[in-house]
Each structure stands twice: as C-alpha cells, then as structure tokens.
Amino acid sequence: MNNYKPPYTITSKILAQTSDIVELLSELKHTTGLLSTPKLRKKNRVKSITGTLQIEGNSFSEEKVTSIINGSKVLGTLREITEVQGAIEAYDFLEKYNHANEKDLLLSHKKMMGKLLANAGTYRHTNVGVGGKEGVTHVAPPPHRVQSLMGELFGWLQSTDEHLLIVSCIFHYEFEFIHPFSDGNGRVGRLWQSVILSHYKDIFAEIPIESVVRDNQEKYYRALEASGSAGESTPFIEFMLGVILETLTNVPNNIPNNVPKDRLALILSEMQENTSITIKEMALNLEVNEKTIKRDIEQLKIGNRVERIGSARKGYWKVKS
C-alpha cells in the first residue's frame, strides 16, 4: 500500500480558487463542443505548443508552429524545428494518455524528446540541477532515487481523494522537483498537468493553459522556487490555480460569435435534407464531435423544434415549423 503523500497545505486561497474554477466550469458546461471545432481546436493546440516551447527558449511563433503542422517549410534551427515536431506528436496524443499510468508519462517523454535524446522515454542516470538567474536554484534528487520517487508519486496520484484541480498542480510541482529526465522536464510536467485536468473535464484538452503560463513565466519560476524554499507545493498550487482560472475566464473571448445559433440551424437543415441522417454523419458534416451534436439536439427537442420518430437505428427526424 502506498502511504506517500506530497507535502502541501490547503489554504483558504486554494479553496476559494478551486470553488471559483468549479463555478466557472459550470457556466462553461456547454462550451466544450464549441471549442472542439477543428479550426478552433487546432488554434488552441498551437497556442499550447508554442507557449510551452517558448518557456524553454524556443523562438518559434504560432505562425511557424502552424506551418510545421501544415507540413510547410519554415526557417529556423534544426533543434527548434525538431522541438516543435516532438511537441506536436506529444500533444496530439493528449486525450489518449492515462493520467495515472506511469508508462504513459514515459511514452509522452519519448514522443516529446525522441528526436532530441538518445534516452528519451527513460529516467535519467545522471545528476541534474535547475539553473536560474543566480545560478543553480535546485539540485534534483540523485538518479538512483528517481524510479522510487516517481513510483511513489504515481501511487499517490492513483489513490488520492484530493480534488483533481489541486492534484494536477501538486503533481506538476513534485514532477519538477524530482526532475526525472535528463531534459524535457518542464515540457512534460506542463503537458501532464493538462492530461490530469482533461481527465477531470474534457474542456481542459481544448484550452491553452501553457500559453498563460508563458505569459506569466517569471511568476511561474518564482512559484516553483517559493515552493522549494517552503518545502511544500502550496505556493505553486496557488499560482497554477490562478493560471487555470485566468485561462477559463478567457474562453468566451476565443469562441466565434453566434456559433451555437448557426449550428442549430445547420442541424435542422441537415435533418430536413435527410430525415434518416445519423448523429455521426452530422458530426462529420459540421466538423464537431458527436457529443456536441447530441447536446444540440437535446436543445432542439427542449425547444420543440425537432422530434425523433421511431428507434435510434431505424427511425427518422421530424423537423417542426
């Protein structure tokens, strides 16, 4: 049985931040489908990739990252291009990782750093330190302890009853403290927080938290250092919950106007043209996921705009005037 528990304190600020995020998520509960349109999903994924890499010193803009995704040639160093390619591969798998599976985290590192490191996907066998403006700010645990420390961390992740919003922040900090890889720790740590958050709510797979971290980079590093000095992740939890709240607050600004109204009209049009059309076919035609179509149809049913006649397999749609 795993008895390990990372050191942290649940402060009144953390409780208030968590409550605010949960409330905001409730207000945004119909938003996930809107963010899942291919165009907006791609835009936000580019923001995530650009943000996390710029924190590590990569100079590529969102435009250049988009060009690489599109298969176009760009000017830049081989390393920067390779970093972008690795991040694209790692983030494309975001929703397929099991957040509590240590092997999946190793897989994410292999995807992220596979073209940059010979030992990608395996824990380090050398000592590492984290540098800052004043030199080395953190000496990571020795390599012989990495395996057991990561095992304890994942054991806690699998067994904790703490709220996943808070868990994601604790894991992020503890991961950076252990610094289990020879390189790529920052990128994988930020990715894995998004993986944990997306396990909690689907919307977190669609929003660019990393770009907000990038915009608050100095505060991000100060929060890591403050937690190191305090001997617990509390300052970092408070910082990252603030980042999550800021990211969610900006979600409505990133959604095109009138998308729901326009899509409802398109769904009705699809049904009128083909009364036997399936939800899967409508999702493909309108470039959204099936959950979004199902939610929209429920809205249409509540508004008495459409009725399903017969079974799901052999029935048909009746559009009402």
Q: Where are the domains of the chain?
A: 12-254, 259-319
Q: Which of 14-23, 226-235, 286-295 has the lowest mean pLDDT?
A: 286-295
User: What would the pLDDT profile of 150-167 be if each residue is shown by its tens digit?
Assistant: 999 999 999 999 999 999
Work out the pLDDT band at 311, boundaries 50, 70, 90. Answer: confident
* Residue 217 near residue 55, CB atoms below 8 Å: yes
pTM: predicted TM-score of the whole model, two decimal places? 0.79
Q: Which of 306, 308, 266, 249 is nearest to 31 (CA)?
A: 249
Equal fold, 12-254 vs 259-319: no
Q: How far is CA 209 from CA 146, 204, 261, in A?
A: 27, 8, 28
Q: Any idea which fold 12-254 has?
A: Fic-like fold (1.10.3290)
Interval 168-191 mean pLDDT: 97
Q: Any idea which fold 259-319 has?
A: Arc Repressor Mutant, subunit A (1.10.10)
